[in-house]
Structure 1
Amino acid sequence: MKSDERWLIAGLGNPGPWFRRTRHNAGFLAVDRLAERHGAKFRLHGARCRVAEIDIDGRRVLLAKPQWFINLSGNPVATVLRSHGIPTERLLVVQDDLDFPFGTVRLKRGGGPGGHNGPRSVNKALGTHDYIRLRFGIGRPPKGQTIGSFVMKEFSQAEQADLPALLDRCADAVEALVARGLSKAQDALHSTDA
């Protein structure tokens, strides 16, 4: 029954206002966009996570933003997942991804962390990588800039101009996933690529 099908959408990022618009916080920005779209407000869930609740197509959906640094995201995500009795197959982790050009949005089930410490922490806490990820491409750093420095900087001015539409694309993908399933959401998302 629809009303019994609950989802957890966990955006990965770093807490604190100084990280808010950085590339590493693409996951937070995407779940913030979903909350705004549905008129939801985040509240504290224990000391580890901020959560908001929305409805997508009659299904209860929790949005989560772990309040530990991104490389320690796993335990807060696992705590919320388990405390609400949500199975890992209905967990979506939203993250930035260096391996895709800026603005690329991809849905995928499973797979390794690809050098990203956020999913690595989630994998460890859950004991599995069999959950869905939405990866937001941020591109690679320019020559001479370290990855650490690149991901902790704010999006460029040109990227910021494109960001609202891209975050809407992420929100559309999440809504399609919950309402129609992974395969149909992937078809809709990936068919819009040039």
Structure 2
Amino acid sequence: MKYLIAGLGNIGSEYAHTRHNVGFDIVDALAKAEGVPFEDERYGMVANFRHKGRVFILLKPSTYMNLSGKAINYWMKKESVPIENLLVIVDDLALPFGVLRLKAKGSDAGHNGLKNIQETFGHNQYARLRFGIGDNFRKGHQVDYVLGRWDRLEEDTLPLRFDVAHEMIKSFATIGTARTMNLYNNK
């Protein structure tokens, strides 16, 4: 069984390790933990590893956030990954910092990456793992906050939260969305 794990973000050094790129950072940390390198492929950087008989295809789209659907669609077709085996990892302003929420489906909640994926597929019936970045910004400064870097306290906490995200990703593929949600969404 193959699973496509797509961490959303924007390419370019100016976006590296910003709140909006937490999807990239989570899959980067997972690839490092599994000892697998990313390779520059069509529409993104890709790494693969096996866990409990499953193949995990990690994707960091190179199409920029607003066109993430193009890369995800390409890799789903190329690797014959069914929609129920897709997990998209995104930042979420509506969740407090570090809170992780797995959802089986749902709206784009104003997230441009999710909006483009929904437009590409024509539906929102795919799993997503939302990583809370909080909403600690002054009115009118949302873009600066989202594209800003983590503060020191957040940065120190990220490795622990990424470890939980990795557990959730593996759980999604091994025991399914519903059981993973029950195990992790209230922690």
Q: TM-score, normalised by structure 2?
A: 0.96
Distance 2:140 2:154 in 1: 18
Alignment-derived partner of residue 79 in structure 2: 84
Are 1:7 and 1:86, in contact at CA under 8 Å, matched by a contact in 2? Answer: yes
Distance 1:32 1:126 in 2: 26
Structure 2, unmatched stretches of 5+, are none
The total of aligned residue pairs comes to 187
Distance 1:184 1:119 in 2: 23
Distance 1:144 1:108 in 2: 28
Which of 4, 13, 16 aligns to 2:12? It is: 16
Alignment-derived partner of residue 31 in structure 2: 35
Secondary structure of the equivalent of 2:14? helix
Give, in angstroms, the shift of residue 141 of structure 1.
3.6
Alignment-derived partner of residue 60 in structure 1: 55
Structure 1, unmatched stretches of 5+, are none
**Sequence identity percentage:** 35
1:16-48 deviation per Cα after TM superposition (whole angstroms, max 9, x unaligned): 2221110000100111111111111111222x1
Alignment-derived partner of residue 26 in structure 1: 22
Alignment-derived partner of residue 104 in structure 2: 109
Give, in angstroms, the shift of residue 52 of structure 1.
0.4
Q: How does 1:139-154 map to 2 (within 5 A)?
A: 139-154=134-149
Secondary structure of the equivalent of 2:60? strand
Give, in angstroms, the shift of residue 145 of structure 1.
4.8
Distance 1:84 1:164 in 2: 30
> Which amino acid counterpart does residue 55 of structure 2 have in structure 1?
R
Distance 2:118 2:51 in 1: 26
Are 2:63 and 2:70, in contact at CA under 8 Å, matched by a contact in 1? Answer: no
Whether 1:133 aligns to 2:125 is no
Alignment-derived partner of residue 165 in structure 1: 160
Which of 41, 46, 65 aligns to 1:51? It is: 46
Are 1:56 and 1:178, in contact at CA under 8 Å, matched by a contact in 2? Answer: no
